[in-house]
Amino acid sequence: MQLLLALVSGGYAVGAALNWGSEEVAEIMGDFGLSAAGLLAAVSCYSYARAIDSRERPAWLLFAFSSLMGASGNAVWGWYEVVLGQAVPKPSLADFAFLCFAPPAIVGLLVLAKRPVTRAGWVCLGLDSWLIGGSLLTLSWSLALAHAARTAQSGAPGSVPRAALSLAYPLLDIALVSMVLVLHFRRSETNRSAVNTAIAALALTVLSDALFTSPLLSAEYQSGQLLDAGWFAGSLLLAYAPWGARRHHPAPEPAGPRRVERPHSRPITGSLPALTPYLAAAVCTLGILYNVVDGRKVDRVVVFTGCTVVLALVIRQGIMLLDNIALTQELAQKENHFRSLVQGSSDVIMIAAPTGTLRYVSPAAAGVYGREAEELVGTELATLIHPDDLGRVVHEVRRFLAAAPAEEPTTRIECRFKSGGGEWLNVESTVNRHQGGLILNSRDVTERVRLQAQLQHSAEHDPLTDLPNRALFTRRVRQALTGRRAGDHSSAVLFIDLDGFKAVNDTIGHQAGDELLVEAARRLQDSVRAGDTAARLGGDEFAALILGDGSRDRSAREYQVHEIADRLRTTLSQPYRIAGSEVRVAASIGVAFADPGITPSDLMRNADLAMYRAKAAGKDRVELYAPQMQAEVVRKAELAGRLRTALHEGEFALLHQPVVSLATGEVSAVAAQARWRSAQGILFTPAEFLRVAEYSEGAATGPQTPPGFAAGSSTRGAELGRWLLEQAVEQAADRHRAGHDVPVAVRMTAQRLLDRAVPLGSVEALLTRHGLPSGALVLELAVSDPRVPFDDLERRLTALHRLGVGIALDGFGSGYAAISALRRLPVDMLKLDRGLVEGVVESARLHKITAGLLRIANDLGMQSVADGVDLPEQVTALRAMGCTHGQGMAFSGPLDEYRLRRALVRGTFPVPGGTAQPALAGGSPGGSMAIRRGSHNETPVPPT
């Protein structure tokens, strides 16, 4: 569009310079060509005014009317010259139309001008307009207009209208030029490109009018001359003004960081509005000097106009002086206000030059930094920042200054700042831009940083031992497996458990236990290397991360780590001096290596499994993780799941094995046993299931329980024990009602009997519900855990014993605390462990041990039962040693209910070697396993 506009205007100028080739074409182009250009400008401005909806619409409508008047004047001019072929009369309708061109344009420029806010601003706008217009009027009057005025006073025919027209054109042009100049310095920022183009178009039109009204050209002007090219170009430029500006919006900037160009200062351009009144006065002075130098008499119009211009300048200067005084007072008030805010603020406000030198520091620096503000002024900011933080701060400042101010007006920087006492303070600063430099609003956050560090430390460390806790230890393990150590598979994790720690808590108190843990943590921390990590995972469990040395020799690395672990075990197992007494605990340690591809959780799980294996293998030892450990845990979990499924789907059956008198062969009791019924209906001896159930009820509650197994397995073992007891009591009650008065023996662990999850009167309620008489139930008690509270167990068994429940001590000769159980618990009978019975014939040593145990039972007046009597030779030997009853394949295997009742009808089993009396007195020579109440109390045992 701009190129097309230049080509059309240039073509018109070239044609006008060549007089269009003929006088007729020159008249047509000079009249109707200008009319068409004016009409185009009128239509363009009108269409733009219809398209917009803002305060600019009236201005563009006025520009459209002004252009229409110019087009009409040229059309009338062409009507006379081209159509009628005669000279244009003066005055004529064309003159009226031309005179109507300037007023709408002047008003339109006033609409576009930036409106003053105050009344004084409106007065200054009027004064500025008169200063420009008056000065131009003075100069024009001195040059040309005075001649036109004298012509009008001569009284010649037609001289007055012609003089009036001669004066009207330049006066209106002067007014239009004044508004153009005023608007140039006071234009609004809205649609600035369109306004500038319109101003340029009107300025070009006014210039052509000024040339037309000059005495040199007005007498010889003819249509189609080069002067018409100025009017033509002005009309086209006004037509282009609104639409060209809308078509050439700047393209949006691409996203992302961009370089910010600093605005170049233009002091001369910025000072032109202030110099305008003085320039106008200078022009007016030149007009007066022209008359004086030329020897002419000073015209009254020039004197009057010059005086009004000087008066307007004085008034304007007075208004400006009052405004300056008001602004100075307001500025002083604001400065005092902000100075009070800055000096009274607890934050330190600093202004740094682009070079980094501090130009201003608020007085708060004395209280915050311990340094006077005057001392800091002139100091390089970089010298006050900690060297470790300087690089980060410089990088952030450069990034901030390179960013766009509109997108990131401020930034926040935290660093250490040197105080007057020489210590480093943690300072948080809000940074803003200021004349190429920075404004820093800083505050001391040392206490907050210290508190955050303390909270972070508390969240990552054990409160008792101050060792890293599980969360921090896990993160350290993850760091050892990733990053630059990702390829080093020689790192190892050690899980450590203190054996016997619970006994310390139970015997000498929890305070002593805490002191032991603190001392153990200190020993562990002192024993690991500087780069390794020692942690407390909870309770009496500790861990250590031994970082690898990059060695690829796995065996050598295992040997080295095993030595470290064994040294830790020895150190932790040394006696502790707690509360004035010597305390001993041992350490079980599991070791796992960082195999390729292993995750932190898997590595820690492997070390945990190895530690539990160390405890299960006898404690106070070191075990290296092997893959079969995890496989064993998975297998036990699967077996436990199958056990639960079998319980819920009724796949277990209850069998009974007869307990036979070794003297007479009579059935004196039956031992209840569970069997698993397969999908094909075949009964199996589920050794694995029974071991899982036994492990769940007993060892699973102890420290040897593998992780993730104890809770679920204990629940399933309890379910199996509950089912076994209920089924045994129910079937025993049915047999008693059928006339078979044989007691039923049910094996139960001490942990199960004292389980708080089981109601206290569950056994009593079960006997009452099924109507089982007194003496018909025998509980075979297994005491295998040293942590069983004997006081609670004694009270529970005494209560059951009063109801007629028999108590048998199961596994006698192999279990824990047999002597303590005999001394404190109301035991009626002893059941020899199967391990003693199996070798009683072959091993003379076992023969003597078994005979001694049977002698103890006989001396206490208790019955004895040998479990696992499978061979006739065992029957003969046990009977000779004084054993009263036996249970095993030498008599019968486990029987279902039908076969059991047939055996009970028969009543006896053949005894190898025939009927014989026991070698030792006591016991029950035959018949039922009667419960002998009071025997425990009647035979006192010396305290052990």
**Whole-number percent of the chain with pLDDT over 90:** 20
Instruction: Name the most confidently modeled range: 26-30, 130-134, 484-488.
Output: 26-30
Q: Tell me, what's the pLDDT at 294?
A: 59
Nearest Cα neighbor of 702 from 612, 763, 778, 807 is 612
Q: Tell me, what's the pLDDT at 698?
A: 39
Q: Grade residue 261 by pLDDT with cuts at 50, 70 and 90.
A: very low
pLDDT of 560 above 80: yes
Lowest mean pLDDT among 180-184, 208-212, 540-544, 824-828: 180-184
**Residue 517 host element (H or E):** helix 510-527
Q: Identify the residue with better confidence: 226 or 862.
A: 862
Q: Tell me, what's the pLDDT at 6?
A: 85
pLDDT of 873 above 80: yes
Q: Grade residue 661 by pLDDT with cuts at 50, 70 and 90.
A: very high
- Collapsing DSSP states into helix, strand and coil, what is residue 812? strand
pLDDT of 380 above 50: yes
SS3 content of the chain, % helix, strand, coil (to 5): 55, 15, 30
Instruction: Name the most confidently modeled range: 557-571, 643-657, 700-714.
Output: 557-571
pLDDT of 785 above 90: no
755 burial class (0-12, 13-18, 19+ CB within 10 angstroms)?
A: middle
Q: Grade residue 699 by pLDDT with cuts at 50, 70 and 90.
A: very low
Q: Which residue has the tokens 């300072």?
A: 427
Q: Which residue has the tokens 């563009």?
A: 60
How many of the other CB atoms lie within 10 Å of CB of 730?
Answer: 14
d(C-alpha 356, C-alpha 342), whole Å:
21
Amino acid at 282: A
pLDDT of 670 above 80: yes
Give the mean pLDDT of 716-736.
85
Q: Grade residue 713 by pLDDT with cuts at 50, 70 and 90.
A: very low
Q: Grade residue 733 by pLDDT with cuts at 50, 70 and 90.
A: very high
Q: Grade residue 169 by pLDDT with cuts at 50, 70 and 90.
A: low
Q: Which whole-number Å values give the CA distances from 788 to 327, 539, 708, 802, in the listed order?
A: 93, 20, 23, 22
Amino acid at 618: G
Nearest Cα neighbor of 656 from 475, 394, 899, 857 is 899
pLDDT of 520 above 90: yes
pLDDT of 701 above 50: no
What b/e readout covers 692-728, taking b as 16+ CB neighbours within 10 angstroms? bbbbbbbbbbbbbbbeebbeebbebbbbbbeebbbbb
d(C-alpha 100, C-alpha 78), whole Å:
18
Q: Tell me, what's the pLDDT at 204?
A: 78
Give the mean pLDDT of 877-906.
92
Give the mean pLDDT of 155-168.
50
Q: Tell me, what's the pLDDT at 405?
A: 87
Average pLDDT, the chain: 77
pLDDT of 817 above 60: no
Q: Tell me, what's the pLDDT at 533?
A: 92
- Dihedral angle, C-alpha 145, 147, 153, 156, nearest 10 °: -120
d(C-alpha 225, C-alpha 16), whole Å:
5
Tokens at residue 579, please? 């509360």
Lowest mean pLDDT among 81-90, 149-158, 325-334, 530-539: 149-158
Q: Identify the residue with better confidence: 2 or 43.
A: 43
pLDDT of 210 above 70: no
Lowest mean pLDDT among 2-11, 152-161, 730-739: 152-161
Global pTM value: 0.51
Q: Tell me, what's the pLDDT at 743?
A: 95
Q: Which whole-number Å values give the CA distances from 356 to 44, 138, 146, 381, 394, in the listed order?
A: 56, 57, 66, 6, 10
Give the mean pLDDT of 407-425.
88
Give the mean pLDDT of 572-595.
89
pLDDT of 876 above 70: yes
Q: Tell me, what's the pLDDT at 147?
A: 54
DSSP one-letter code for 701 = G
Q: Which whole-number Å values give the CA distances from 827 to 65, 375, 811, in the listed order?
A: 126, 92, 13
Show the beta-strand stretches assigned E in 741-874. Answer: 744-749, 777-782, 806-812, 829-832, 863-867
DSSP one-letter code for 360 = E
- Collapsing DSSP states into helix, strand and coil, what is residue 277? helix
Give the mean pLDDT of 569-574.
92
Q: Grade residue 132 by pLDDT with cuts at 50, 70 and 90.
A: low
Q: Tell me, what's the pLDDT at 609?
A: 92
Lowest mean pLDDT among 71-85, 688-702, 746-760: 688-702
pLDDT of 547 above 80: yes
Q: What is the pLDDT of residues 3-45, one digit of tens each?
A: 888 888 888 888 888 878 788 888 888 888 888 988 998 998 8
Give the mean pLDDT of 918-924.
36
Lowest mean pLDDT among 283-297, 398-412, 807-821: 283-297
pLDDT of 734 above 90: yes
User: In sequence order, which residues have a C-beta less than 8 Å from that of residue 927 and are 6 or more positions away?
Assistant: 661, 664, 666, 668
d(C-alpha 84, C-alpha 89), whole Å:
12
Lowest mean pLDDT among 102-116, 363-377, 654-668: 102-116
Nearest Cα neighbor of 689 from 664, 711, 721 is 721
Q: Tell me, what's the pLDDT at 937?
A: 33
Show the beta-strand stretches assigned E in 319-423. Answer: 348-352, 358-361, 410-418
pLDDT of 248 above 50: no
Q: Tell me, what's the pLDDT at 66?
A: 85
Q: Tell me, what's the pLDDT at 932?
A: 43
